[in-house]
Structure 1
Amino acid sequence: MTTTGEEHTEAGTGPWWWVRWRSAVLDASLALASAAECAGEGIRFAHDAGLPVPVGVGFGLVAGAVLLLRRKWPIAVVLVSIAITPAQMGFLMGLVGLYTLAASELPRRIIGALAGMSFAGTLIVTFVRAHQGVVRGDVTMGDWFVPFLSITTAIGMTAPPVLLGLYVGARRRLMESLRERADSLERELQLLAERAEERAEWARNEERTRIAREMHDVVAHRVSLMVVHAAALQAVARKDPEKAVKNAALVGDMGRQALTELREMLGVLRTGDGLRAQAQPVPAVPLAAVGAAAAAAASRAADDPADRPANGSAHGPADGPSLAELDELVGQSAAAGMVVELSVEGDVRVYAAEVEQTAYRVVQEALTNVHKHAAGAKTHVRLAHRVSEIAMQVENGCPPEVGVGAAVRLPSGGNGLLGMKERVAALGGVFVSGPTDVGGFRVSAVIPVFSPSGGTPSGGV
């Protein structure tokens, strides 16, 4: 079946080979008109050929009804119209057949060959009939009239339907191509929207993970020290009131420090654009734009670490702890009863804020884990300033036997080591942790360094 582009894209709802009932009704009407025309012309054909009139009428009806097949077999319709041209039948069938043939998806050489055959047949038949009329005296025009009439009739019966069919076929194919492109673009946009939604969900998950990690880093260490001091306070409250007062003061200091850090962190979420976003309605933003912005921000943060904020994420406060506070951190653990030593190798330097924060948080979390799981064990904290990296190691020995007066067991969420590893990996560093041969535990991390302005390592101070 030879069809046009429009028929390819529409769902078939009509009978047989028609895609629509409207097309079937149109073809049936044209076939009925063609059959009536050929039946009327069959009377004259029967007289000229010396045949009975019913034979000529029946032949005309059958030949004209072939137009019903124009959409399925346009070549057959054109060939039948050419075949009955000598009988001066099928003018409507010839016009409609040539139009359908030219509008179909058949090769141009086939369309040209059949159109040429129809032109030649019409030219010859018209020339012979006109010449016979001149010979009989029915026409008294000059010799130029017969060729002029033949050529004009052949062109008029062939060129208009072929040109119109070619135009309609090209237009339908163009519309089909445009529809396919529109469908393709719609599918691409849908895919982009789905990917943008996935990226937005990934960004939300990353933000939730970052906030959870920050809260863990801020709260876990301070609260762990507070619990240790509270346990010591309970143990010496009656025996040594002076020491109990000192421990109570330390607990208060730890609590105030924890509240201060929490207040600073939550303040970032409540100020600036956050307040404006809560006070004003949020405008509708295309999902693809949200995904593109999230992907661009994540790509920038991954490609250029110097462009990240100081907390090691794509968002967050720029203020935070630094390596200059490491002595105070170790002192707090020592005040809680831990035997801890700090050693620093190499020239002390100033690093980018996120490098110093990450190094500080690694040591802080490692000391917190010692309080939780190895209370009373001797701990060594080592910090090494190298040419292009900074290394840190926290190693504790085997904890003493659990007995009377042992430190209180602290709860653990199991996310401390994972959070440290994520922080170090985000800066392109290496993180390793595991038990030692003597029954202790070791946490090691190496972070590549860069200056606050990015690029090369900063100079010493």
Structure 2
Amino acid sequence: MRRGGQWRWPEVAADAVLALVLLGFGLLATDLAGDNQPGSRPVDAACRVLIAVAALALLLRRRAPVAALAVVTVVTSTYLLIGYPYGPILVTFLVAVYTVAVRLPVRPAALASGGAFVLLLAHVFFGRGPAPGWTGVLPASAWVVVPFAVGVVVRVSREAAARTRAEEARSRVEQARRQADEERLRIAQEVHDVVGHGLAAISMQAEIALHLLPKRPEQAEVALTAISRTSREALDELRVTLGAVRRGAEREPVPGLARLSALRDRLAGAGLTVEVRVVGAPRELPAAVDLAAYRVVQEALTNVLRHAGVASAEVTVDYRADEVTVEVTDRGMGTGRAGTAPVDDEGGHGLAGMRERVAALGGRLTTGPRAGGGFRVYAGLPVEPAT
């Protein structure tokens, strides 16, 4: 009857209406029942008081179902023992039994209903009117067994529905958590690609500047200028990436294969010459495919810069009818490079990130040493055939 210390007024109102309906029905229909039951005690003031007490006891049926059942049972048994006619008061008893069955666990509900049944049987053998004897046990039991069974079924159904709702709620929470985790991983991968590439280029340029500074300071200035430009470009790209995930922020164009020339120029300042070759007719790609292809090239070239120990690399972009492929090759030794072992044993986060990107789009990725020396990264990403 209370929730959070407050009355649940809709339930209070419903119980009040039920009690008043049963009260009115009992007062009006009991006279009619008595007319059809010769030998029963005539309806009088005491009869009407008992009917009223039984009906009004239902006001407590939600807050104290056992107490309500006890009051209704005592009143109903007294009513029948006196010899008043079978009538609407038994409907009130039925509602009290049902309430106990639907609101209490089965064991305590069965004990309470069993006690009510035993007390109700008293009139079968000791009533002032015509006592039915053993023949009255079965009809009397129906007033307990039927509402008890219905109440248990309703209770079990409600509990099953509540469990289903709870499971659905947990499933929605788990799905939301998975989506949040996937989004965090996606953002982490984007930040890794942007920051990792920028820092690799800056690190290489800084080493060049430190090497040239004592002997050829004018060339060191060129390296420092490249560091400034690279850091600014990396920050701009990071700002675009983070801005794309802010709620309500306008999404700026994400990087794609059209920016390979800028990537090549940036790496040239870090001492890595990149030759870009395009096969087929360039065309507009889906944003996810365009970004994934660019990130594969960017990460592969970053690995060349970090680990290959060479000054050049080749990039081939092939626009085919139903896919676009990118290939990055070099002729370095690959010392310390993640992925120089067989593909399934690779431990590099960069190559693992490439594989996740490509697999998410239904593509394929091949990485490993080249037969003639060096390293090769190859990715194929499916696209809709050009029309």
TM-score w.r.t. the length of structure 2 is: 0.63
Instruction: Please point out which of 218, 221, 243 is paired with 1:242.
Output: 218
Q: SS at the partner of 1:20?
A: helix
Instruction: Please point out which of 132, 140, 144 is paired with 1:99.
Output: 140
Q: Tell me how large the CA RMSD over aligned residues is.
A: 3.2
Q: Matches of 2:167 and 2:182 in 1, distance apart?
A: 22
Instruction: Please point out which of 166, 182, 198 is paired with 1:222.
Output: 198
Question: Counterpart amino acid of 1:355?
Answer: V
Please tell me whether the aligned partners of residues 240 and 252 of structure 2 are also in contact (alpha carbons under 8 angstroms).
no
Q: Matches of 2:325 and 2:311 in 1, distance apart?
A: 22
Q: Matches of 1:390 and 1:13 in 2, distance apart?
A: 71
- Listed as ranges, the gaps of 5+ residues in structure 1 are 42-88, 104-164, 274-315, 403-412, 451-455
Question: Counterpart amino acid of 1:12?
Answer: R
- Look up the match of 1:132: none
Q: Matches of 2:212 and 2:112 in 1, distance apart?
A: 98
Instruction: Please point out which of 367, 380, 386 is paired with 1:446.
Output: 380
Please tell me whether the aligned partners of residues 398 and 438 of structure 1 are also in contact (alpha carbons under 8 angstroms).
no
Q: Deviations over 1:340-371 (max 9, x none)?
A: 32221111222122222211111001000111
- Look up the match of 1:393: 327
Q: Matches of 1:231 and 1:254 in 2, distance apart?
A: 14
- Listed as ranges, the gaps of 5+ residues in structure 2 are 1-96, 337-346
- Look up the match of 1:430: 364
Share of identical aligned residues, percent?
34
Please tell me whether the aligned partners of residues 339 and 376 of structure 1 are also in contact (alpha carbons under 8 angstroms).
no
Q: Matches of 1:400 and 1:191 in 2, distance apart?
A: 51
Report the CA distance shift for 1:249/1:424 in structure 2 as closer, same or farther (over 3 A): same
1:64-213 matches, within 5 Å, as 91-100=132-141, 103=142, 165=143, 171-213=147-189
Please tell me whether the aligned partners of residues 124 and 137 of structure 2 are also in contact (alpha carbons under 8 angstroms).
no
Q: Deviations over 1:401-448 (max 9, x none)?
A: 99xxxxxxxxxx932112111211222111121222344221110011
Please tell me whether the aligned partners of residues 395 and 440 of structure 1 are also in contact (alpha carbons under 8 angstroms).
yes
Please tell me whether the aligned partners of residues 334 and 374 of structure 2 are also in contact (alpha carbons under 8 angstroms).
no
Q: Matches of 1:320 and 1:199 in 2, distance apart?
A: 27
**Structure 1 residue 25, shift from structure 2 partner:** 6.4
Report the CA distance shift for 1:197/1:218 in structure 2 as closer, same or farther (over 3 A): same
**Structure 1 residue 197, shift from structure 2 partner:** 1.6
Q: Deviations over 1:79-105 (max 9, x none)?
A: xxxxxxxxxx952443343332xx2xx
Q: SS at the partner of 1:238?
A: coil
Q: Deviations over 1:307-363 (max 9, x none)?
A: xxxxxxxxx945111212212212322332224322211112221222222111110
Report the CA distance shift for 1:439/1:345 in structure 2 as closer, same or farther (over 3 A): same
Please tell me whether the aligned partners of residues 318 and 324 of structure 2 are also in contact (alpha carbons under 8 angstroms).
yes
Q: How many residues align?
A: 279
Please tell me whether the aligned partners of residues 339 and 377 of structure 1 are also in contact (alpha carbons under 8 angstroms).
yes
Q: Deviations over 1:210-264 (max 9, x none)?
A: 1101101111111111110110011111222221111111111001111112222
Correspondence 1:260 to 2:230: no
- Look up the match of 1:124: none
Q: Matches of 1:170 and 1:36 in 2, distance apart?
A: 24
Q: SS at the partner of 1:98?
A: helix
- Look up the match of 2:55: none
- Look up the match of 2:111: 20
Correspondence 1:372 to 2:348: no
Q: Deviations over 1:17-70 (max 9, x none)?
A: xx3256336515735x65557xx99xxxxxxxxxxxxxxxxxxxxxxxxxxxxx
**Structure 1 residue 270, shift from structure 2 partner:** 4.7
Q: Matches of 1:259 and 1:195 in 2, distance apart?
A: 39
Report the CA distance shift for 1:94/1:210 in structure 2 as closer, same or farther (over 3 A): same
Q: Matches of 1:28 and 1:383 in 2, distance apart?
A: 91
Please tell me whether the aligned partners of residues 431 and 446 of structure 1 are also in contact (alpha carbons under 8 angstroms).
yes
Question: Counterpart amino acid of 1:322?
Answer: G
Question: Counterpart amino acid of 2:309?
Answer: A
TM-score w.r.t. the length of structure 1 is: 0.54
Q: SS at the partner of 1:351?
A: coil
- Look up the match of 2:294: 360
Report the CA distance shift for 1:175/1:371 in structure 2 as closer, same or farther (over 3 A): same
Q: Matches of 1:188 and 1:400 in 2, distance apart?
A: 56
